[in-house]
């Protein structure tokens, strides 16, 4: 695999001279070759991967082991955790949007975990659509769910309709040009609709604790790193108004960071998200992360709701 690595300007304000945050880093999770630089824009404060694979090379960085390309693990406990997460996500979605939407688009539906769950729960009362850069047949849903799937780049998609709700969970950090992507999603959202998403929180205490092993880095697959403040700026620049941001309880932030640290420090062959490794670590992390969220008011993931302004602000 030969990756083409390039230096880029700030994707939000195009400032060409970002300030590197520390030394170049390697991929400790999937061990993609190369060294990459995280930098902060000196004008708009946006944090991003300033030295990164170009668009064509980025697709190669996901590899054959990435969770969207392989069958969902058969491990029953892991499936139980996935279902728990999908249920919690659905309840938050209903609360944030205020009602069950009649149409919903999931951007970056990955292994279809959430769309399939919604298909079971909504039972045809909500029109469900998913889009991803690559659709893997291995995750195809039961036709009875009636879920429309569209393969393509979120920045240039034209789905021919607008949606009452658009959701994107752990997607915005992967997108090389979030400005173009969000502007295109704005065109697909009904005037009274909601955009709901989740991103890793740059201000997570575990980033400070685990540094280059922090689960939210995932370089070079993650291109953008968000705080609530930079998220607000990005949304406002793309025609949205940020309505709310809140912490999401996610033990994976600590357990994956810990597994990254162990595998890298001990030079283990296994990847840090293997079930036998990941599940015990997640169980151990569950209590600690509860303290992080409820006592420290801090989390590894933040969820937001935004609504469209009447027109795009250029």
Which residues make up the interface to Zn ion (CB under 5 A)?
10, 12-13, 15, 41, 43-44, 46
Query: Minimum distance between the CB of residue 48 and Zn ion, rounded to whole angstroms?
Result: 8
Helices 275-294 and 252-265 sit at what angle, rounded to 10 degrees?
130
Q: How far apart are CA 226 and CA 47, in angstroms?
A: 7
Give CA 78 to chain center in angstroms.
19
Query: Minimum distance between the CB of residue 88 and Zn ion, rounded to whole angstroms?
Result: 34
* Nearer to Zn ion among residue 12 and residue 245 (C-beta): 12
Per the structure block, which two tokens stand in for 115? Answer: 């769309």
44: left (phi over 0), alpha (psi -120 to 50) or beta: alpha
* Nearer to Zn ion among residue 44 and residue 312 (C-beta): 44
Determine contact, residues 103/163, Cβ cutoff 8 Å: yes
Give the ranges where 266-311 is alpha helix by DSSP (H): 275-294
Query: Minimum distance between the CB of residue 237 and Zn ion, rounded to whole angstroms?
Result: 10
Q: How far apart are CA 237 and CA 272, in angstroms?
A: 36
Query: Minimum distance between the CB of residue 63 and Zn ion, rounded to whole angstroms?
Result: 30
* Nearer to Zn ion among residue 40 and residue 89 (C-beta): 40
Query: Minimum distance between the CB of residue 166 and Zn ion, rounded to whole angstroms?
Result: 25
Q: How far apart are CA 55 and CA 226, in angstroms?
A: 21
State the DSSP code for 43.
T
* Nearer to Zn ion among residue 15 and residue 290 (C-beta): 15
* Nearer to Zn ion among residue 12 and residue 293 (C-beta): 12
* Nearer to Zn ion among residue 179 and residue 271 (C-beta): 179
Query: Minimum distance between the CB of residue 133 and Zn ion, rounded to whole angstroms?
Result: 25
**Other residues' Cβ atoms within 10 Å of the Cβ of residue 145:** 17
Give ∠ CA 253-251-67 in degrees, rounded to 5. 65
């Amino acid at each position: 695999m030969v990756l083409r690595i390039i230096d880029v300007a700030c994707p939000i304000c195009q400032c060409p001279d970002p300030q590197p945050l520390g030394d170049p880093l390697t991929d400790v999770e999937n061990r993609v070759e190369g060294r990459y630089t995280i930098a902060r824009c000196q004008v708009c404060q946006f944090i991003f991967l300033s030295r990164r694979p170009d668009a064509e090379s980025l697709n190669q960085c996901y590899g054959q082991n990435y969770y969207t390309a392989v069958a969902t693990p058969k491990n029953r406990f892991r499936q139980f955790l996935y279902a728990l997460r999908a249920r919690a996500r659905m309840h938050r979605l209903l609360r944030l949007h205020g009602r069950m939407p009649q149409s919903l688009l999931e951007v970056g539906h990955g292994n279809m975990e959430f769309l399939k769950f919604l298909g079971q729960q909504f039972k045809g009362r909500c029109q469900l659509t998913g889009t991803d850069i690559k659709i893997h047949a291995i995750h195809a849903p039961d036709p009875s769910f009636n879920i429309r799937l569209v393969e393509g780049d979120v920045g240039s998609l034209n789905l021919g309709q607008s949606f009452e709700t658009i959701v994107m969970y752990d997607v915005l950090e992967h997108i090389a040009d979030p400005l173009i992507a969000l502007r295109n999603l704005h065109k697909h959202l009904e005037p009274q609709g909601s955009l709901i998403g989740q991103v890793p929180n740059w201000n997570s205490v575990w980033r400070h604790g685990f540094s280059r092993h922090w689960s939210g880095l995932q370089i070079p697959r993650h291109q953008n790193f968000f705080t609530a403040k930079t998220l607000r700026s990005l949304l406002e620049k793309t025609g949205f108004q940020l309505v709310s941001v809140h912490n999401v309880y996610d033990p994976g932030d600590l357990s994956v960071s810990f597994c990254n640290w162990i595998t890298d420090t001990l030079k283990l062959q296994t990847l840090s998200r293997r079930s036998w490794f990941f599940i015990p670590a997640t169980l151990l992390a569950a209590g600690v992360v509860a303290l992080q969220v409820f006592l420290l008011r801090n989390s590894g993931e933040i969820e937001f709701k935004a609504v469209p302004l009447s027109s795009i602000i250029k």
